Amino acid sequence: MKLVDLLPPERVFVNIDIAEREQLLAFFAEKAGALGLVGSDECLQALTDREELGSTGLGKGIAIPHARIPSLETPVAMLATLARPIDFDAPDQEPIDIAVMLLLPKQSGEQIKVLSQVARFARQDSVVDELRRADTTEQVLVILADAEDDL
| CA dihedral for 28, 38, 146, 127, sign (positive or negative) | positive
How many domains would you assign to the chain? 1
Q: Whole-model pTM? A: 0.93
Is the residue at 73 inside a domain? yes
Q: Is residue 46 assigned to a domain?
A: yes
Q: Let me know if residue 8 belongs to a domain.
A: yes
**CATH number for 77:** 3.40.930.10
- Domain of residue 35: give its range: 3-145
Tell me the residue ranges of DSSP E strands in the chain: 12-16, 57-59, 62-63, 66-68, 76-86, 96-104
Q: Residue 22: helix, strand or coil by DSSP?
A: helix
pLDDT digits (tens, 9 = 90+) for 100-147: 999 988 776 666 777 777 778 888 899 999 999 999 999 999 999 998
Do the domain assignments include residue 151? no
| 150 found inside a domain | no
Question: Does 141 fall in a domain?
Answer: yes
Q: Helix (H, G, I), strand (E, B), or coil: what is residue 86?
A: strand
| 139 assigned to active site | no
CA 114 – CA 106 distance, rounded (Å) = 15
Q: Would you say residue 115 lies in a domain? A: yes
Catalytic residue (choose from 66, 79, 108, 117): 66
